[in-house]
Structure 1
């Protein structure tokens, strides 16, 4: 029994809950942006280095979410049409296992697609470079991508994770909302004390901030959960957190 049962379908929740979570969680982080001591870059750096204004970022994210919602609805309709009657939900243990499998599938897909978009000069110049216009990332820009990248990297990655893990639409609500929260957290540009994600994931906001820096664009491709593929394939770049004069921290490539 879940709180939305009887009000909206699992398929509808799986489609729209991640979008709502994105703007709520991202919006919360945006409210913290004026707190310089928690920023990985100063406000001045953001204004000088970022190559796209906030309204354009919002429009780009909304476009990607429209595509994601359309694909999600089609995917849920296709999979639900193959079952008859009410879907029996698996045990909690099975659902946890499915989510873990989906996490590894999504990480694998996104690592190799993301890395190839850097290595292929045409794809980087005409597609992936749009995401890197945010040299100083911030929360609501997490899904600011070229529409083709959004489709290949995020939308297809989510669909493949859903299908391979075998999860139901109800489990997918949890997984996709969690994936959105983690993606926003990685792009928030903040280093907050007590962030629970830093306890379980080495792939965090500082780790991904290195990738957005000019010297780190060939490293730290992994997203959104683990850094396994970076470590296995030699693209892992550790970092040092260096304290700034204003009391905040910045991530710098680790010195040998």
Structure 2
């Protein structure tokens, strides 16, 4: 379940976004912008995400087999820690994952070879949308998978707590790439974390923004500490929808 549940959660949560009635009045980009910027067909994006998820499952299953084979052959009762302990583990895992993602992500941009041959695949979706959140080069997915393993080990989570964390992380990635600016109460992640769809949209849309807002998926303090934070405001478009405007 720890391997499969995040995949199921990803497609269910992304599917909800795609099956909702038209939400043009909440979108950060117009249909014209979407048609002009996103040239990758949807079936290609779906196939790319499935390949990435397959790599993640195979990698994690292989690591389990190599380093803790007893998990596959022996029935063991694992006592879940208390809720306060699990909350602390969540916080540690979020901080570790944010550090991993920020520095790997920033290096993927500053290293021209890595950007051209690996990370640029993710940026072909210049106007992001829900099911394309994990669309990336297979090598990048492998690097992200190892980041998840580091979070699991450093935080000391049980497999069950890790299942919860990885599922929420999948949902958070979709939220960042949804392209929707929902009203308060309808976008739970926007109320909890500063890293939201508008913040990450700056990084995706336009060449200028790609030098900023590397932080993901939870907090934004790495950008602020290291000078890669781009301030912004979200304003309503006259004909419906929203627009992210840079303040710098």
Judged with a 3 Å threshold, the aligned counterparts in structure 2 of structure 1 residues 43 and 237 are, in CA distance, closer, same or farther, namely same
> What are the superposed Cα offsets for residues 237-256 of structure 1, whole Å, 9 maximum, x if unpaired?
1111121122211112124x
Judged with a 3 Å threshold, the aligned counterparts in structure 2 of structure 1 residues 167 and 120 are, in CA distance, closer, same or farther, namely same
Matched, 1:22 2:10: yes
User: How far did 1:87 drift?
Assistant: 1.9
Q: Secondary structure at the match of 1:242?
A: strand
> What are the superposed Cα offsets for residues 190-226 of structure 1, whole Å, 9 maximum, x if unpaired?
1111212122111000000000022200000000000
Which deviates the most, 75-84 or 126-135? 75-84
Within 5 A, what are the aligned runs for 1:52-67? 52-67=40-55
Q: For 2:145, which of 152, 155, 161 is the aligned residue?
A: 155
Distance in 2 of aligned mates of 1:216 and 1:177: 28
Partner in structure 2 of residue 8 of structure 1: none
Within 5 A, what are the aligned runs for 1:93-112? 93-112=84-103
Within 5 A, what are the aligned runs for 1:97-246? 97-152=88-143, 154-194=144-184, 195-214=187-206, 215-246=208-239
Distance in 1 of aligned mates of 2:68 and 2:2: 13
Distance in 1 of aligned mates of 2:175 and 2:121: 20
CA contact (8 A) 1:75 1:159 kept: no
Within 5 A, what are the aligned runs for 1:43-82? 43-77=31-65, 78-79=67-68, 81=70
Q: Which runs of 4+ in 1 moved over 6 A?
A: none
Root mean square deviation of aligned Cα: 1.6
Distance in 2 of aligned mates of 1:79 and 1:193: 45
CA contact (8 A) 1:14 1:170 kept: yes
Judged with a 3 Å threshold, the aligned counterparts in structure 2 of structure 1 residues 32 and 41 are, in CA distance, closer, same or farther, namely farther
Structure 2 unaligned regions, length at least 5:
none
Distance in 2 of aligned mates of 1:75 and 1:24: 27
TM-score, normalization by structure 2: 0.93
CA contact (8 A) 1:33 1:39 kept: no
Q: Secondary structure at the match of 1:217?
A: helix
